[in-house]
Amino acid sequence: MSFNIYLASPRWYCAWVDRAIQILDGALKKYGSPIYVNHEIIHNKYIVNFFEKRGAIFEENLDNIPKGSIIIFSAHGVWPDFRAEVKERWLKYIDATCPLVTKVHTEAKHFVKDGYEIIYIGKKNHQEAIWVKNENPNKTYVVYNKDDVDNLSWLEWKKLALLTQTTLSVDDTTALIEYIKELYPDIDLPRAKDICYATTNRQAAVKEMTQYIDTLLIVGSESSSNSNKLRDIGEKKWINSYLIDTFEDIDESIFDNLENIWVSSWASGPEKLVQEVLEYLKSKGWIMKDELKTIEENMVFAYNLELK
Ligand code: SF4
Protein backbone atom coordinates (compact mmCIF):
# COMPACT_ATOMS: atom_id res chain seq x y z
CA MET A 1 0.00 0.00 0.00
CA SER A 2 1.41 3.41 -0.92
CA PHE A 3 0.70 6.69 0.84
CA ASN A 4 0.45 9.50 -1.64
CA ILE A 5 0.43 13.26 -1.30
CA TYR A 6 -1.17 15.36 -4.02
CA LEU A 7 -0.75 19.09 -4.09
CA ALA A 8 -3.26 21.58 -5.52
CA SER A 9 -2.24 24.35 -7.86
CA PRO A 10 -3.01 27.22 -7.71
CA ARG A 11 -3.07 27.44 -3.93
CA TRP A 12 -0.69 30.19 -2.74
CA TYR A 13 -1.09 33.95 -2.28
CA CYS A 14 -3.07 35.69 -4.97
CA ALA A 15 -1.21 38.55 -6.64
CA TRP A 16 -3.03 41.20 -4.58
CA VAL A 17 -2.36 39.52 -1.25
CA ASP A 18 1.26 39.22 -2.28
CA ARG A 19 1.31 42.93 -3.13
CA ALA A 20 -0.24 43.91 0.25
CA ILE A 21 2.41 41.86 2.08
CA GLN A 22 5.20 43.41 0.03
CA ILE A 23 3.88 46.90 0.77
CA LEU A 24 3.90 46.26 4.53
CA ASP A 25 7.31 44.63 4.36
CA GLY A 26 8.67 47.51 2.24
CA ALA A 27 7.14 50.18 4.50
CA LEU A 28 8.71 48.64 7.61
CA LYS A 29 12.09 48.56 5.90
CA LYS A 30 11.81 52.09 4.49
CA TYR A 31 10.10 53.98 7.33
CA GLY A 32 10.78 51.78 10.37
CA SER A 33 8.27 50.80 13.03
CA PRO A 34 5.60 51.35 14.05
CA ILE A 35 3.56 50.98 10.90
CA TYR A 36 -0.18 50.79 11.54
CA VAL A 37 -2.56 48.65 9.49
CA ASN A 38 -6.33 49.22 9.68
CA HIS A 39 -7.02 45.47 9.95
CA GLU A 40 -5.06 42.21 9.68
CA ILE A 41 -3.08 42.77 6.48
CA ILE A 42 -4.45 39.39 5.38
CA HIS A 43 -6.47 36.85 7.36
CA ASN A 44 -3.59 34.64 8.41
CA LYS A 45 -2.40 34.22 11.99
CA TYR A 46 1.18 33.33 11.04
CA ILE A 47 1.62 36.42 8.86
CA VAL A 48 0.00 38.72 11.43
CA ASN A 49 2.32 37.41 14.19
CA PHE A 50 5.32 37.68 11.89
CA PHE A 51 4.67 41.36 11.15
CA GLU A 52 3.72 42.21 14.73
CA LYS A 53 7.19 41.05 15.78
CA ARG A 54 8.67 43.45 13.23
CA GLY A 55 6.72 46.45 14.53
CA ALA A 56 3.44 46.42 12.61
CA ILE A 57 0.38 47.33 14.68
CA PHE A 58 -2.99 46.07 13.49
CA GLU A 59 -5.43 48.66 14.78
CA GLU A 60 -8.99 49.21 13.59
CA ASN A 61 -9.75 52.16 15.87
CA LEU A 62 -8.24 55.37 14.53
CA ASP A 63 -8.51 56.90 18.03
CA ASN A 64 -5.64 54.64 19.04
CA ILE A 65 -3.30 55.80 16.27
CA PRO A 66 -1.17 58.87 17.07
CA LYS A 67 -1.36 61.87 14.73
CA GLY A 68 1.17 61.81 11.90
CA SER A 69 1.63 58.01 11.98
CA ILE A 70 1.84 55.84 8.89
CA ILE A 71 -1.11 53.56 8.19
CA ILE A 72 -1.53 50.92 5.52
CA PHE A 73 -5.01 50.09 4.25
CA SER A 74 -5.25 46.30 4.23
CA ALA A 75 -6.25 44.27 1.16
CA HIS A 76 -9.86 44.26 2.43
CA GLY A 77 -10.40 47.93 1.63
CA VAL A 78 -11.70 51.03 3.38
CA TRP A 79 -14.76 53.25 2.93
CA PRO A 80 -15.06 57.02 2.25
CA ASP A 81 -15.62 58.20 5.85
CA PHE A 82 -12.58 56.23 6.95
CA ARG A 83 -10.43 57.87 4.29
CA ALA A 84 -11.73 61.30 5.31
CA GLU A 85 -10.93 60.61 8.95
CA VAL A 86 -7.43 59.45 8.07
CA LYS A 87 -6.86 62.84 6.42
CA GLU A 88 -8.39 64.76 9.33
CA ARG A 89 -6.01 63.04 11.70
CA TRP A 90 -2.97 63.87 9.58
CA LEU A 91 -2.14 60.23 9.08
CA LYS A 92 0.07 59.29 6.14
CA TYR A 93 -1.10 56.25 4.26
CA ILE A 94 -0.34 53.66 1.59
CA ASP A 95 -3.35 51.95 0.06
CA ALA A 96 -2.90 48.18 -0.29
CA THR A 97 -6.58 47.53 -1.04
CA CYS A 98 -7.21 44.84 -3.62
CA PRO A 99 -8.68 46.61 -6.68
CA LEU A 100 -11.24 43.83 -7.05
CA VAL A 101 -12.60 44.88 -3.66
CA THR A 102 -12.41 48.54 -4.71
CA LYS A 103 -14.45 47.65 -7.80
CA VAL A 104 -17.34 46.47 -5.61
CA HIS A 105 -17.13 49.66 -3.51
CA THR A 106 -17.24 51.75 -6.70
CA GLU A 107 -20.22 49.80 -8.03
CA ALA A 108 -22.03 50.32 -4.71
CA LYS A 109 -21.34 54.04 -4.90
CA HIS A 110 -22.58 54.36 -8.48
CA PHE A 111 -25.71 52.31 -7.92
CA VAL A 112 -26.76 54.40 -4.93
CA LYS A 113 -25.98 57.64 -6.79
CA ASP A 114 -28.36 56.43 -9.52
CA GLY A 115 -31.16 55.87 -6.99
CA TYR A 116 -30.73 52.14 -6.35
CA GLU A 117 -30.87 50.12 -3.19
CA ILE A 118 -28.47 47.20 -2.94
CA ILE A 119 -28.74 43.57 -1.95
CA TYR A 120 -25.18 42.54 -1.10
CA ILE A 121 -24.39 38.85 -0.74
CA GLY A 122 -21.72 38.51 1.91
CA LYS A 123 -20.86 37.46 5.43
CA LYS A 124 -22.32 40.01 7.82
CA ASN A 125 -19.33 39.98 10.17
CA HIS A 126 -16.68 39.99 7.45
CA GLN A 127 -14.74 43.25 7.04
CA GLU A 128 -15.33 43.39 3.33
CA ALA A 129 -19.13 43.22 3.78
CA ILE A 130 -19.12 45.65 6.71
CA TRP A 131 -17.06 48.15 4.80
CA VAL A 132 -19.06 47.97 1.56
CA LYS A 133 -22.22 48.50 3.64
CA ASN A 134 -20.49 51.51 5.18
CA GLU A 135 -20.52 53.14 1.73
CA ASN A 136 -24.33 53.50 2.02
CA PRO A 137 -25.52 51.98 5.29
CA ASN A 138 -29.22 52.83 4.81
CA LYS A 139 -29.42 51.51 1.29
CA THR A 140 -27.40 48.31 1.51
CA TYR A 141 -28.83 45.02 2.79
CA VAL A 142 -26.35 42.23 3.46
CA VAL A 143 -27.69 38.69 2.92
CA TYR A 144 -25.97 35.34 3.20
CA ASN A 145 -28.76 32.81 2.67
CA LYS A 146 -32.35 32.47 1.49
CA ASP A 147 -33.76 33.28 4.94
CA ASP A 148 -31.94 36.62 4.90
CA VAL A 149 -33.44 37.34 1.48
CA ASP A 150 -36.93 36.34 2.64
CA ASN A 151 -36.57 38.70 5.58
CA LEU A 152 -36.34 41.59 3.12
CA SER A 153 -39.75 40.89 1.57
CA TRP A 154 -41.34 43.75 3.56
CA LEU A 155 -39.25 46.30 1.68
CA GLU A 156 -40.72 48.12 -1.28
CA TRP A 157 -37.97 48.42 -3.83
CA LYS A 158 -37.93 50.98 -6.56
CA LYS A 159 -34.60 50.26 -8.16
CA LEU A 160 -32.62 47.30 -6.92
CA ALA A 161 -29.06 46.14 -7.62
CA LEU A 162 -27.12 43.05 -6.59
CA LEU A 163 -23.48 42.91 -5.50
CA THR A 164 -21.40 40.17 -3.87
CA GLN A 165 -18.37 39.83 -1.64
CA THR A 166 -15.28 38.93 -3.69
CA THR A 167 -14.37 35.80 -1.77
CA LEU A 168 -17.48 33.68 -1.41
CA SER A 169 -18.26 30.14 -2.43
CA VAL A 170 -18.92 30.24 -6.16
CA ASP A 171 -21.51 27.44 -5.94
CA ASP A 172 -23.42 28.81 -2.94
CA THR A 173 -23.51 32.28 -4.39
CA THR A 174 -24.74 31.11 -7.79
CA ALA A 175 -27.72 29.38 -6.15
CA LEU A 176 -28.54 32.43 -4.03
CA ILE A 177 -28.26 34.79 -7.00
CA GLU A 178 -30.72 32.61 -8.93
CA TYR A 179 -33.11 32.72 -5.97
CA ILE A 180 -32.88 36.51 -5.76
CA LYS A 181 -33.37 36.87 -9.53
CA GLU A 182 -36.52 34.77 -9.35
CA LEU A 183 -37.94 37.05 -6.65
CA TYR A 184 -36.76 40.26 -8.28
CA PRO A 185 -36.48 39.70 -12.04
CA ASP A 186 -35.66 43.38 -12.68
CA ILE A 187 -32.71 43.46 -10.34
CA ASP A 188 -29.59 45.00 -11.88
CA LEU A 189 -26.41 42.98 -11.79
CA PRO A 190 -22.86 44.35 -11.82
CA ARG A 191 -21.24 44.53 -15.25
CA ALA A 192 -18.50 42.09 -14.24
CA LYS A 193 -18.70 39.20 -11.78
CA ASP A 194 -17.70 40.26 -8.25
CA ILE A 195 -16.23 36.96 -7.04
CA CYS A 196 -12.52 37.24 -7.72
CA TYR A 197 -10.39 35.00 -9.91
CA ALA A 198 -8.33 33.78 -6.93
CA THR A 199 -11.40 32.48 -5.12
CA THR A 200 -12.77 30.83 -8.25
CA ASN A 201 -9.46 29.18 -9.13
CA ARG A 202 -8.70 27.80 -5.64
CA GLN A 203 -12.18 26.43 -5.15
CA ALA A 204 -12.12 24.84 -8.61
CA ALA A 205 -8.75 23.19 -7.88
CA VAL A 206 -10.05 21.61 -4.66
CA LYS A 207 -13.36 20.61 -6.24
CA GLU A 208 -11.62 18.93 -9.14
CA MET A 209 -9.65 16.72 -6.79
CA THR A 210 -12.43 15.74 -4.42
CA GLN A 211 -13.32 12.96 -6.84
CA TYR A 212 -9.97 11.17 -6.35
CA ILE A 213 -8.97 11.60 -2.72
CA ASP A 214 -9.58 10.32 0.82
CA THR A 215 -8.57 13.32 2.83
CA LEU A 216 -8.13 17.02 2.37
CA LEU A 217 -5.70 19.18 4.35
CA ILE A 218 -6.21 22.92 3.99
CA VAL A 219 -3.37 25.06 5.30
CA GLY A 220 -5.13 28.23 6.44
CA SER A 221 -6.65 30.00 9.38
CA GLU A 222 -10.00 29.69 11.15
CA SER A 223 -10.26 33.49 10.85
CA SER A 224 -10.28 33.18 7.06
CA SER A 225 -13.77 32.43 5.83
CA ASN A 226 -12.29 31.22 2.58
CA SER A 227 -10.04 28.65 4.18
CA ASN A 228 -13.22 27.36 5.82
CA LYS A 229 -14.94 27.34 2.43
CA LEU A 230 -12.24 25.11 0.96
CA ARG A 231 -12.71 22.69 3.83
CA ASP A 232 -16.49 22.83 3.29
CA ILE A 233 -16.05 21.82 -0.35
CA GLY A 234 -14.42 18.58 0.83
CA GLU A 235 -17.02 17.98 3.52
CA LYS A 236 -19.86 18.41 1.06
CA LYS A 237 -18.33 15.52 -0.92
CA TRP A 238 -18.09 13.38 2.25
CA ILE A 239 -14.31 13.64 2.34
CA ASN A 240 -12.46 13.99 5.64
CA SER A 241 -11.37 17.62 5.52
CA TYR A 242 -9.17 19.45 8.00
CA LEU A 243 -8.16 23.07 8.38
CA ILE A 244 -4.72 23.45 9.95
CA ASP A 245 -2.62 26.51 10.73
CA THR A 246 0.67 24.61 10.62
CA PHE A 247 1.94 21.03 10.44
CA GLU A 248 1.82 20.97 14.25
CA ASP A 249 -1.98 20.85 14.08
CA ILE A 250 -1.98 17.53 12.21
CA ASP A 251 -3.55 14.81 14.30
CA GLU A 252 -1.81 11.56 13.30
CA SER A 253 -4.93 9.51 13.92
CA ILE A 254 -6.30 10.88 10.65
CA PHE A 255 -3.75 8.75 8.78
CA ASP A 256 -5.43 5.47 9.72
CA ASN A 257 -6.61 3.58 6.61
CA LEU A 258 -5.58 6.40 4.31
CA GLU A 259 -3.90 6.16 0.92
CA ASN A 260 -4.17 9.62 -0.59
CA ILE A 261 -3.95 13.07 0.95
CA TRP A 262 -4.69 16.24 -0.93
CA VAL A 263 -3.00 19.42 0.32
CA SER A 264 -4.06 22.92 -0.58
CA SER A 265 -4.19 26.40 0.91
CA TRP A 266 -6.13 29.60 0.53
CA ALA A 267 -4.96 32.79 -1.23
CA SER A 268 -3.71 34.12 2.12
CA GLY A 269 -1.81 30.93 3.00
CA PRO A 270 1.99 31.30 3.04
CA GLU A 271 3.68 28.70 0.82
CA LYS A 272 6.32 28.19 3.53
CA LEU A 273 3.65 26.62 5.77
CA VAL A 274 2.49 24.32 2.98
CA GLN A 275 6.07 23.15 2.39
CA GLU A 276 6.47 22.46 6.12
CA VAL A 277 3.33 20.29 5.99
CA LEU A 278 4.80 18.36 3.05
CA GLU A 279 8.08 17.84 4.86
CA TYR A 280 6.23 16.58 7.90
CA LEU A 281 4.16 14.13 5.85
CA LYS A 282 7.27 12.90 4.06
CA SER A 283 8.95 12.30 7.41
CA LYS A 284 6.00 10.02 8.23
CA GLY A 285 6.54 7.93 5.10
CA TRP A 286 4.20 9.71 2.71
CA ILE A 287 5.36 10.16 -0.88
CA MET A 288 4.91 13.31 -2.91
CA LYS A 289 3.04 11.97 -5.90
CA ASP A 290 1.97 14.89 -7.99
CA GLU A 291 1.14 18.57 -8.17
CA LEU A 292 -2.01 18.98 -10.19
CA LYS A 293 -2.44 22.29 -11.90
CA THR A 294 -5.98 23.24 -12.85
CA ILE A 295 -5.14 26.72 -14.13
CA GLU A 296 -2.05 28.90 -14.61
CA GLU A 297 -1.79 32.00 -12.41
CA ASN A 298 1.20 34.19 -13.02
CA MET A 299 0.11 37.75 -12.36
CA VAL A 300 2.38 40.16 -10.52
CA PHE A 301 1.34 43.70 -9.58
CA ALA A 302 3.55 46.70 -9.07
CA TYR A 303 3.40 48.93 -6.00
CA ASN A 304 5.11 51.98 -4.66
CA LEU A 305 5.81 53.06 -1.12
CA GLU A 306 5.07 56.73 -1.57
CA LEU A 307 3.09 58.13 1.36
CA LYS A 308 -0.12 60.03 0.70
S1 SF4 B 1 -8.46 36.84 -2.66
FE2 SF4 B 1 -9.47 37.95 -4.33
S3 SF4 B 1 -10.35 39.75 -3.37
FE4 SF4 B 1 -8.86 38.91 -1.91
S5 SF4 B 1 -6.98 40.02 -2.37
FE6 SF4 B 1 -6.93 38.15 -3.61
S7 SF4 B 1 -7.80 38.76 -5.62
FE8 SF4 B 1 -8.35 40.36 -4.11
- Res. 1: pLDDT tops 70: no
pLDDT at position 171, please?
82
| Ligand 1 centroid, distance to 101 Cα (angstroms) | 7
Residues with active-site annotation: 128
Ligand 1 atom nearest 128 alpha carbon: 3
The answer to whether position 307 is within a domain reads no
Gap from CA of 205 to ligand 1 centroid (Å): 16
Range name among 65-74, 112-121, 188-197 with the lowest pLDDT average: 188-197
pTM value is 0.86
For the chain, what is the mean pLDDT? 90
Query: Which amino acid is it at 116?
Result: Y
Give me the CATH number covering residue 207: 3.40.1010.20
37 and 9 in a common domain? no
pLDDT at 212 over 80: no
Q: What separation in Å is there between the alpha carbon of 166 and the centre of ligand 1?
A: 7
Select from 76, 98, 120 the last residue of a domain: 98
**Percentage of the chain lying above the pLDDT 90 cut:** 56
Atom of ligand 1 nearest to the CA of 20: 5
Burial class (CB in 10 A: 0-12, 13-18, 19+), 137: exposed
- Decide: 307 and 73 in contact? Cβ < 8 Å: no
Band of pLDDT at residue 3, cut at 50, 70 and 90? confident
* Atom 2 (ligand 1) nearest CA: 196
Distances (CA, A) of 21 to 72, 87, 114, 242: 10, 23, 36, 26
Q: Which residue has the higher pLDDT, 45 or 164?
A: 164
For 286, the domain range is: 4-13+197-293
* Domains contained in the chain, number: 3
Q: In a mutational test of the pocket of ligand 1, which residue from 131, 165, 166 has the highest number of ligand atoms less than 8 Å from its CB?
A: 166
For 134, how many CA atoms within 13 A lie in the half-sphere containing its CB?
A: 14
Cα separations in angstroms, 256 against 67, 218, 253: 57, 18, 6
Lowest mean pLDDT among 209-213, 232-236, 277-281: 209-213
Q: What whole-number distance in Å separates Cα of residue 205 and Cα of residue 209?
A: 7
Q: Ligand 1 site: residues with CB under 6 angstroms? A: 14, 16-17, 75, 98, 100-101, 166-167, 196, 198-199, 267
CA distance 42 to 268: 6
pLDDT, average across residues 201-226:
85
Q: Kindly state the percentage of the chain with pLDDT values over 70.
A: 99
CA-to-CA dists, residue 273 to 57, 220, 221, 269, angstroms: 23, 9, 11, 7
Strand 4-9, strand 260-265: pairing: parallel
Question: Is the residue at 303 inside a domain?
Answer: no
